[in-house]
A and B are shown apart, each in its own frame.
Chain A
Amino acid sequence: MRRSGTGAKLISVPYVVWAALFIIAPLFFVVYYSFTNAAGQFTLDNIHLLTKYIPTFLRSIWFGIVATLICLLIAFPTAYIISQKSDKIQRTMILLVMLPMWMSFLIRTYSWMAILQDTGLINSFLVKIGIDPVHMINTGGAVILGMVYNFLPYMIMPIYSVMAKLDFSMVEAAQDLGSNRINVIRRCIIPMSIPGVISGITMVFVPSVSTFYISQKLGGGSFDLIGDVIERQFQQSYNYNLGASLSLVLMILILLSMAVMNHFSDEGEMVI
Chain B
Amino acid sequence: MKKITAVILSALIIVLFPFNFAFAAGDAEIEALRGTKLYVYNWGEYISDGEDGTPDVNALFEEKYGIKVVYDTFDNNESMYSKLKSGGVSYDIVIPSDYMIARMIKEGMLEKINFDNIPNYKYIPEKYRNLDYDPTGEYSVPYTVSYVGLIYNTKMVEEAPDSWAALWDERYTNNILMFNNQRDAFAIAQSLLGMDYNMESEYAWRTAAALLKEQKTVNPVYVNDEVFLKMESGEAALAPYYVGDFLTMYENNNDLAFVYPKEGVNYFVDAVCILKGAKHKRAAELYIDFLSDPEIALANAEYICYGSPNSAVYENPDYEYYQDELLYPEEGAFKTQLFRNLSPETLALMSTLWDDVKNYTPSGFSNRSLFFGDETASSGSAEGEAMTKQTVKYAIYIGIFLLLCLAYIIFRYARKKYRERV
Interface residues of A (CB under 8 A from B): 38, 52-56, 58-59, 61-62, 65, 110, 113-114, 117-120, 135, 138, 216-217, 220-224, 228-229, 232-239, 270, 272
Contact = CB atoms under 8 A, between A and B. Distances in A.
Contacts of B180: 216, 221
Given A138-B219, A237-B78, A59 B229 contact: no
Interface string B173-189: 01000001110000000
Contacts of A235: 76, 78-79, 82
B335 interface: no
B233 interface: yes
A41 to B, nearest CB: 15
A58 B82 contact: no
Contacts of A223: 358-359, 361
A238 to B, nearest CB: 5
Interface stretch (B141-149, B298-306, B391-399): B391-399
Contact of B387 (A55, A119, A270): A55
B221 A222 contact: yes
Contacts of B344: 38
B221 A62 contact: no
A62 B347 CA distance: 32
Given A222-B216, A228-B358, A238-B82, A138 B351 contact: no
Interface of B: 76, 78-79, 81-82, 85, 174, 180-182, 216, 219-223, 226, 229-230, 233-235, 344, 347-348, 351, 354-356, 358-359, 361, 387, 390-391, 394-395, 397-398, 401, 412, 416
A138 B176 CA distance: 12
A56 B359 contact: yes
Contacts of B223: 220-221
A268 B344 CA distance: 54
Contacts of A118: 174, 235
Highest count of chain B CB atoms <10 Å: which of A53, A55, A272: A55
B78 A236 contact: yes
A113 B78 contact: no
B235 A119 contact: yes
Nearest to A231: B79
Contacts of A233: 351
Contacts of B226: 110, 113, 217
4 A-B pairs with least C-beta separation: A221-B222, A237-B351, A58-B394, A220-B221
B253 to A, nearest CB: 11
A234 B229 contact: no
Given A55-B391, A117-B230, A216-B222, 16 more contacts: A52-B355, A53-B355, A119-B233, A119-B234, A138-B221, A220-B223, A222-B216, A222-B220, A223-B358, A224-B355, A224-B359, A229-B355, A233-B351, A236-B79, A236-B351, A237-B348
A239 B219 contact: no
A54 B235 contact: no
A59 B351 contact: no
Contact of B394 (A62, A114, A135, A239): A62
Nearest to B234: A119
A228 to B, nearest CB: 7
Contact of B348 (A62, A65, A239): A239
A249 to B, nearest CB: 15
A222 B219 CA distance: 7
Contact of B229 (A58, A62, A113, A228): A113
A61 B220 CA distance: 24
Nearest to A229: B355
Nearest to A221: B222
A118 B172 CA distance: 14
A118 B173 CA distance: 13
B302 to A, nearest CB: 28
A238 B81 contact: yes
